[in-house]
Amino acid sequence: MKENTKIYWKGLEQLTNAPEFVKNAGNEFGAPPPEENVEHSRRDFLKMMGFGMSAVALAACEAPIRKAIPYVNKPEEIDPSIANYYASTYINGGDYCSIVVKTREGRPIKVDGNPLSGVTKGGTSAQVEASVLSLYDNDRLRAPKAAGKNTKWEDLDQAVIAKLNEINATGGQIRIVSNSIISPSTVAVLEKFNAKYPTTQHIQYDQNSHYGILKANEESFGTAMIPSYDFSKAKTIVSIAADFLNSWVSPIEFTKQYALVRDAGEGQKEIARHYQFESNLSLTGANADYRAQIKPSEEGAVVVMLYNLIAGLAGKPTTEGGKDVKYLKAAAEELWKNRGNALVVAGSNDKSVQTLVNGINDMLGSYGTTILPGSPLNYRQGNDEKMNAFVEELAAGKVAGVIFYNCNPVYDHPAGDKIAAALKNVTLTLSTSYKEDETATSTSFLAPDHHYLESWNDAEPKKNFFSLGQPAITPIFKTRSAQESFLKWAGENNTDYFEFLKANWKARFFKGGNFQQFWDKCLYDGVYELPTESASVTFKGDVNAAVNAVASSYKSGSGYELVIYENGTVGNGSQANNPLLQELPEPITKAVWDHYVLISQKDAAKEGITNPESKTKLATITVNGKSVKVPVLIQPGLAQGVLAIAIGYGRTKAGKVADGIGANVYPFVSTVNGSLSYQAASVSFKIEEEAYQIAQTQTHHTYMGRQTVIREYTTEDLKTDPSLLTDRFSPQVATWLDEEHKVKPGELSLWKGHDYKNHHWGMAIDLNTCTGCAACVVACNVENNVALVGREEVINRREMHWLRIDRYYSSDAPVDDWKGLEEASDNPEVVFQPMLCQHCNNAPCETVCPVAATTHSTEGLNQMTYNRCIGTRYCANNCPYKVRRFNWFKYHDNKQFQTSNVAQTSDIGKMVLNPDVTVRSRGVMEKCSFCVQRIQNGKLQAKKERRELQDGEVVTACQTACSTGAITFGDMNDPNSKISKLLKLRPANPDRPYSIDKIAGNPRAYTVLEEIGVKPNIFYLSKIRNKESAKA
Partner 1 sequence: MQVVSGVRDPLVTGGKTVHDVSHDISRHVENPPAKSWYLAMAVSLALLGYGLYCVFMVLWNGIGMWGLNKTVGWAWDITNFVWWVGIGHAGTLISAILLLFRQKWRMSINRAAEAMTIFAVICAATFPLIHMGRLWLGFYWALPLPNTFGSLWANFNSPLLWDVFAISTYFTVSLVFWYIGLIPDFAVIRDRALAQGNQLRATIYNALSFGWEGGAKTWMRYESVALILAGLSTPLVLSVHTIVSFDFATSIIPGWHTTIFPPYFVAGAIFSGFAMVLTLLLITRKVFKLEDYITIYHIELMNIIIIVTGSIVGIAYITELFISWYSGVEYEGYAFFNRVQGPYAWAYWSMMTCNVISPQLFWFKKIRTSLVATFVLSIIVNIGMWFERFVIIVTSIHRDYIPSSWTMFHPTMYDIGEYLFTFGLFFTAFFLFAKFFPVINMAEVKSIVKHNSEKVENKKVAESTHA
Binding residues for partner 1, per CB under 8 A?
A: 613, 698-700, 702-704, 706, 708-709, 793, 796-799, 804, 806-808, 818-819, 833, 835, 844, 847-852, 868-874, 876-878, 880-882, 884-890, 894, 922-925, 1008-1009, 1012, 1014
Cα separation values, 361 from 271, 345, 441, 477, Å: 20, 9, 46, 50
| Nearer to partner 1 (CB atom), residue 885 or residue 1027 | 885
How near is the Cβ of 887 to partner 1 at its closest, in Å?
A: 7
Distance of alpha carbon 476 from alpha carbon 831, whole angstroms: 43
Nearest by Cα to 446 from 458, 435, 461: 435
| Nearer to partner 1 (CB atom), residue 537 or residue 824 | 824
How near is the Cβ of 855 to partner 1 at its closest, in Å?
A: 9
Distance of alpha carbon 332 from alpha carbon 308, whole angstroms: 9
Residues sharing a CB contact under 8 Å with residue 729, sequence separation 6 or more, in sequence order: 707, 708, 711
- In sequence order, the β-bridge partners of residue 104 are 107
| Nearer to partner 1 (CB atom), residue 314 or residue 1012 | 1012
How near is the Cβ of 865 to partner 1 at its closest, in Å?
A: 10
* DSSP string for 78-129: --TT--EEEEEEEEETTEEEEEEEEEETTEEEEEEE-TT-TTTTT---HHHH
How near is the Cβ of 854 to partner 1 at its closest, in Å?
A: 9
How near is the Cβ of 885 to partner 1 at its closest, in Å?
A: 6
| Nearer to partner 1 (CB atom), residue 351 or residue 884 | 884
Cα separation values, 25 from 7, 20, 30, Å: 17, 9, 9
How near is the Cβ of 49 to partner 1 at its closest, in Å?
A: 31
How near is the Cβ of 850 to partner 1 at its closest, in Å?
A: 4
H or E element in which residue 374 lies:
strand 371-377
| Nearer to partner 1 (CB atom), residue 492 or residue 1011 | 1011
How near is the Cβ of 808 to partner 1 at its closest, in Å?
A: 7
Nearest by Cα to 342 from 444, 218, 236: 236
Of the chain, the end-to-end C-alpha distance in Å amounts to 125
Query: Do 405 and 448 contact (CB within 8 A), yes or no?
Result: no
The dihedral built from the CA positions of residue 738, 744, 747 and 749, taken in this order, carries a sign that is positive
Distance of alpha carbon 426 from alpha carbon 96, whole angstroms: 32
How near is the Cβ of 421 to partner 1 at its closest, in Å?
A: 46
* DSSP string for 399-451: EEEEEEES--HHHHSTTHHHHHHHHTT-SEEEE--SB--TTGGGSSEE-PPPP
| Nearer to partner 1 (CB atom), residue 560 or residue 886 | 886
| Nearer to partner 1 (CB atom), residue 417 or residue 823 | 823
| Nearer to partner 1 (CB atom), residue 659 or residue 792 | 792
| Nearer to partner 1 (CB atom), residue 685 or residue 889 | 889
How near is the Cβ of 746 to partner 1 at its closest, in Å?
A: 13
State the burial class of residue 902 (Cβ atoms within 10 Å of its Cβ: 0-12, 13-18, 19+).
Answer: buried
How near is the Cβ of 591 to partner 1 at its closest, in Å?
A: 14
| Nearer to partner 1 (CB atom), residue 82 or residue 870 | 870
3-state secondary structure of 644: strand
| Nearer to partner 1 (CB atom), residue 594 or residue 603 | 594
How near is the Cβ of 431 to partner 1 at its closest, in Å?
A: 41
Query: Do 778 and 570 contact (CB within 8 A), yes or no?
Result: no
H or E element in which residue 546 lies:
helix 543-553
Nearest by Cα to 486 from 92, 174, 170: 174
| Nearer to partner 1 (CB atom), residue 40 or residue 882 | 882
| Nearer to partner 1 (CB atom), residue 258 or residue 832 | 832
Cα separation values, 766 from 283, 319, 705, 833, 1018, Å: 17, 43, 19, 9, 11
3-state helix, strand, coil split of the chain in percent (to 5) is 30, 20, 50
- In sequence order, the β-bridge partners of residue 589 are none
Cα separation values, 423 from 168, 210, 408, 436, 560, Å: 18, 26, 13, 16, 35
Long-range contacts of 977-985 (CB under 8 A, 24+ apart): 977/951, 978/951, 978/952, 979/762, 979/763, 979/764, 982/764, 983/762, 983/764, 983/1019, 984/266, 985/762
| Nearer to partner 1 (CB atom), residue 273 or residue 801 | 801
How near is the Cβ of 189 to partner 1 at its closest, in Å?
A: 49
Distance of alpha carbon 501 from alpha carbon 1011, whole angstroms: 61
The dihedral built from the CA positions of residue 677, 679, 681 and 684, taken in this order, carries a sign that is positive
| Nearer to partner 1 (CB atom), residue 51 or residue 818 | 818
- Residue 964 identity (one-letter amino acid): T
- Within 655-739, strands assigned E span 670-672, 675-677, 679-693, 712-714, 733-734
| Nearer to partner 1 (CB atom), residue 55 or residue 852 | 852
Residues sharing a CB contact under 8 Å with residue 512, sequence separation 6 or more, in sequence order: none
How near is the Cβ of 393 to partner 1 at its closest, in Å?
A: 52
How near is the Cβ of 100 to partner 1 at its closest, in Å?
A: 32
| Nearer to partner 1 (CB atom), residue 447 or residue 869 | 869
| Nearer to partner 1 (CB atom), residue 321 or residue 705 | 705
User: Phi first, then psi: what are they for 79, rounded to 5°?
Assistant: -110, 125
How near is the Cβ of 703 to partner 1 at its closest, in Å?
A: 5
How near is the Cβ of 748 to partner 1 at its closest, in Å?
A: 16
Q: How many CA atoms lie within 13 A of 3 on its CB side?
A: 2
The neighbour count for residue 64, using CB atoms within 10 Å, is 5
Long-range contacts of 503-509 (CB under 8 A, 24+ apart): 504/184, 504/185, 504/188, 504/458, 505/185, 505/458, 508/184, 509/466
- Parallel, antiparallel, or unpaired for β 804-809 and 830-835? antiparallel
How near is the Cβ of 129 to partner 1 at its closest, in Å?
A: 22
